Structure 1
Amino acid sequence: MTANHTTLERCLKEGRTIYEQLQLAASYLQAEGVDEARENAELLLLHVLKLERAQLLLQWRDIFPSEVLPTWGECLQRKGNGEPVQYIIGRAWFYGRSFEVSPAVLIPRPETELLVEAILQQAMPWEKEALNVLDVGTGSGAIAVTLASERPEWNVIASDLSPAALGQAKENARQLGVLERMTWVEGDLLEPFNHGQALTLHTQSIDILVSNPPYIPQRDMEGLQREVKDYEPHLALVGGVDGLDPYRIMLDTLSSLKQKPRLVAFELGIHQPVIVAEMLRELQAWDEVHIIRDYAGIERHVLAIKK
C-alpha cells in the first residue's frame, strides 16, 4: 500500500475534526498531482457537508460527520484521479451565477466572462432594442443564459450539435428563470440559420452572433491537462488539425450573405485570434475588428462590429 493510499484511508477514519480532514485531503490531492490541492479539497468539503464557506469557518473544530465519510472518500478519489471538481460537485460559477455541469458539456471558463462583458459593452447603443442574439455551440448555456438574464429584452437563441448539451443548457435556463424567453435549436454551426440572404430564424435576422466553438488543434490534445483531456467532451474541444475548422465554416457561410450580423464575437485558442481577425477583415463587412486579451494577457477573443 502506498503512502498516499494510507493518507486517503486516514481521511475515512471517524473522530477527526473538519479542519483535520481538510488538511489530510489537501495532502492526498497534492501527492496525486492535483493543482490547487487545498482549494479543491475545500470545494469538495463544502459540497459533501452542504455548507457555505462562512459556515465552514465556524465549524472547523466540529467532528466530521461519520455518515458522509463514504461520500467524502469517493469524492477525494475521483479528484485524485484527475476528474474536474466541477463535474464531481455538478456545478460551476459563471458571471455570478451557478450553472449545472456534467461530462456532456465543457466547464465554463472565467475568460469567457470577458467575451460576455465585451458583447454587453459593444451592444450598449442597441441594448433597448429587441435584438436577436445567436450563441452557436452553447454547451452548458453559460453565454446564452447569461445574455438572456442580463438583457431581458433580447431574443437569445442557443444552438448545439449535441442533444445532451442542449438539454443541459435548457436545464440551466430553467433554473435561472429564462427558459421560456429563449429559443433552442439543434444543429451544426450555422446550418440551421443559413437562408441565403442573412442568418435568420423564423424570418428574423440575427443581429449578434457569438460562438465559443471547439478550437483545440488535434495535435495538442495529448498535451492537455488530464482534467481536460480525460474528462471533458472531445466533441466540444477539437477544432480540426489546426483548431480553426469551425471558424472557417462559419466565416464561409457569412461571406455568402448579403446581410451580416451587426456584431460577431468569437472565443479562440492561443495564437488563433490574429488569424481569424484577418479573415473577418477580408470580408469587409464590419467597421471595426479588434482582439481582446484574457486575464493572463493572452489574445483570446475577436469582435467584429458594425457601428
Structure 2
Amino acid sequence: MNEGAPDNTPATLGDLMNWAVVQLRGAGCDTARLDARILLSEACGVDASRILAWPEDKVTDDAVTRFRAMIARRIAHEPVSRILGKRDFWRHSFKVTADTLDPRPDSETLVEWAIECVTNSAGEVPNEVSNKAPTGASNAGKSPAIIDFGTGTGCLILSVLGDVPGATGIGVDISPGAVACARENAESLKLADRCRFVVSDWDCDLDRELGGKTLAAGFDIMLSNPPYIAQDEMADLAPDVRDYDPYNALSDGADGLGAYRILAGVAARLVRPGGMVIFEIGRGQEKAVHDLLTQHGFDAIEYRRDLGDIVRCVGGRKAG
C-alpha cells in the first residue's frame, strides 16, 4: 500500500490501516481510524491489538480483498455493524440484518431502567427529569413477565432477560425477517427457552398467536422502541441511518407519535395493575408521550436521559 512500492509487494497490517484511514477520512468518516481497525481485525482474523503491536505483519491476498471490499462499503456510509453483521449492545453481541434496526448505545438507557424495575420493589418516583431509581413494577420478584413491541433484533428484551434470570418474555414485530433474527439471537444467547417471538402488527394478531390466557395474565413490564422519527425529519438523518435502517423501524410516515397513540392503549390492556410501561422516544416527545400514558391510566410518570443528556425514555406505572 506504500506509494511507489511494486505491485507484488506483500501488504502489511500497518500499510492497510494507513490506506484505509486516508480513504475513510476522504469520505467524511469521523471515526475513520476506529472503523478501519475494527474492519481490518475482522478481515484478517486477528485481534485489534495486534494491528498496533505488529503493524509489519504480512496480510494474505484474500484478506486484502476482503478488507478492500469492507472499506468500499464503509465509504458508501454503510455502518460497520451492518458490514460485520453484528452489533455489541449491553453485555452481548447481536446479529443485525437488513430487516432490523441497528441497536444503538442510547437504547441501553431503556434496558437499564427495565432491569431496575424488576429488581427494585420500592423507591421514590421523581417528578422531574432525573436518573433516580424508579418505582418497581408489580410482581418484581422471581418471575416477571415482559413484553417488547417492535423487538427488531430482540436486543432490548434479551438484554433484560440476560440480567434477570427468573424473567420470561415475548417479543413482537411486524417483520417476519426481524422475528427470525431475534429468534437466532435468543438461541445464540441461550435464552430461547425464556423468550418467545411472534409476528404481529402491534397487538392485532396477539390473541391468535398467544391465546387469551397468556394475554389475560398480563405483563409486569412493557417495553418498546417504536418508529418515532417524523416524516419531515427523515431527510436530515445521517446516511448511515437513513439509507440502511428499515424505514418502518424509523418513522411512522407522519408526526412520529403514531405508534405511541396505539401502544399506550395496548399497555392499558396488557400491563398488570402496578406494572410499568417504558418507551424510548425522540427528542422533544416526552410531553406528548407523558400525556398519552396519563390518558390511559398510567401515573408516576418519569423520564430517563441518554448518554447525550437528552430525554430518551418515558415510563409510567399502571394505576390500581
When the two structures are superposed, what TM-score results if normalisation uses the length of structure 1? 0.89
Change (3 A) 1:228 1:190: same
Written as runs of structure 1 = structure 2, the 5 A alignment for 1:249-260 is 249-255=262-268
1:291 aligns with 2:303: yes
Structure 2 CA distance for aligned equivalents of residues 243 and 24 of structure 1: 41
The residue that corresponds to 1:150 in the other structure is 163
Residue aligning to 1:39: 34
| Shift in alpha-carbon separation, 1:202–1:285, aligned structure 2, 3 A | closer
The answer for the alignment partner of 1:171 in structure 2 is 184
Partner SS for 1:68: helix
Tell me the SS of whatever aligns to 1:304.
strand
Tell me which of 7, 12, 33 is aligned to 1:17.
12
The separation in 2 between residues aligned to 1:68 and 1:129, in whole angstroms, is 49
Q: Relative contact order (C-alpha < 8 Å, sep 6+): which is higher?
A: 2
**Contact preservation (8 Å) 1:254, 1:260:** no
Q: Which moved more, 1:293-302 or 1:13-22?
A: 13-22
- Does residue 191 (structure 1) correspond to residue 204 (structure 2)? The answer is yes
Structure 1 distance, partners of 2:164, 2:306, is 23
SS of the equivalent of 1:156 reads: strand
Moved more, 109-118 or 128-137: 128-137
> Is the alpha carbon distance of 1:194 and 1:285 closer, same or farther for their aligned partners in structure 2, counting shifts above 3 Å?
farther
Q: How many residues were matched structurally?
A: 296
Shift of 1:55: 3.4
Shift of 1:38: 1.1
Q: CA deviation at 1:120?
A: 0.9
Q: For structure 1, which runs of at least 5 residues remain unmatched after alignment?
A: 1-5
Q: Residue 123 of structure 1: SS of its match in structure 2?
A: helix
Corresponding position of 1:96: 91
Instruction: Output the CA distance in 1 between the equivalents of 2:103 and 2:53.
Output: 30
Indicate yes or no: 2:234 matched with 1:221. Answer: yes
- CA RMSD between the two structures: 2.5
Q: Structure 1 CA distance, aligned partners of 2:9 and 2:61?
A: 6
Aligned AA (1:173): A
Instruction: Tell me the residue number matched to 1:263.
Output: 276
1:115-139 Cα deviation digits (max 9, x unpaired): 1101111222254331110011100
Distance 1:20 1:221, change over 3 A: same
Distance 1:65 1:258 in 2: 56
Mapped to 2, the partners of 1:235 and 1:132 lie a distance apart of 27
Whether the 8 Å CA contact 2:91–2:159 is kept in 1: the answer is no
Letter in 2 for 1:223: D
Structure 2 match to 1:244: 257
Kept after mapping to 1: 8 A contact 2:118/2:141: no
Asked if the contact 2:11–2:59 (Cα under 8 Å) also holds between the matched residues in 1, the reply is: yes
Aligned mates of 1:138, 1:62 — CA distance in 2: 42
The farther-off stretch of 15-24 and 139-148 is 15-24
Alpha-carbon distance in 2 for matches of 1:39, 1:100: 20
Look up the match of 1:110. Answer: 105
Q: Distance between the aligned counterparts of 1:19 and 1:234, measured in 2?
A: 38
Please state how far the C-alpha of 1:236 moved relative to its aligned partner.
0.7
The residue number in structure 1 matching 2:144 is 131
How far apart are 1:167 and its partner, in Å?
A: 0.3
Q: Residue type of the partner of 1:221?
A: M
Once residues 234 and 315 of structure 2 are traced to their aligned partners in structure 1, the CA distance between those partners, rounded to angstroms, is 27
**Which of 8, 22, 26 is the matching residue for 1:27?**
22
Matched residues in 2 for 1:149 and 1:32: separation?
39
CA distance, structure 2, for counterparts of residue 142 and residue 273 of structure 1: 23
Q: Which moved more, 1:253-262 or 1:36-45?
A: 253-262
2:73 maps to 78
CA distance in 1, matches of 2:153, 2:42: 20
> CA separation in 1, counterparts of 2:213 and 2:161?
18
In 2, the alpha carbon distance for the partners of 1:269 and 1:17 equals 44
Q: Residues 53, 119 of structure 1: CA spacing in aligned structure 2 closer, same or farther, 3 A cutoff?
A: same
Aligned in 2, Cα 1:103/1:211: closer, same or farther, shift over 3 Å? same
**1:14: how far off?**
4.3
- Give the Cα separation in 1 of the matches to 2:257 and 2:71: 37
For structure 2, the residue ranges without an aligned partner over 5 or more in a row are 122-138
3-state SS of 2:70 partner: helix
- 1:64 has 2:76 as partner: no
Q: Could you tell me how far apart the structure 2 residues matched to 1:33 and 1:91 are?
A: 23
Residues 258 and 63 from structure 1, CA distance in 2 versus in 1: closer, same or farther, beyond 3 angstroms? closer
CA–CA distance in structure 2, aligned partners of residues 153 and 255 of structure 1: 24
Q: CA deviation at 1:283?
A: 3.1
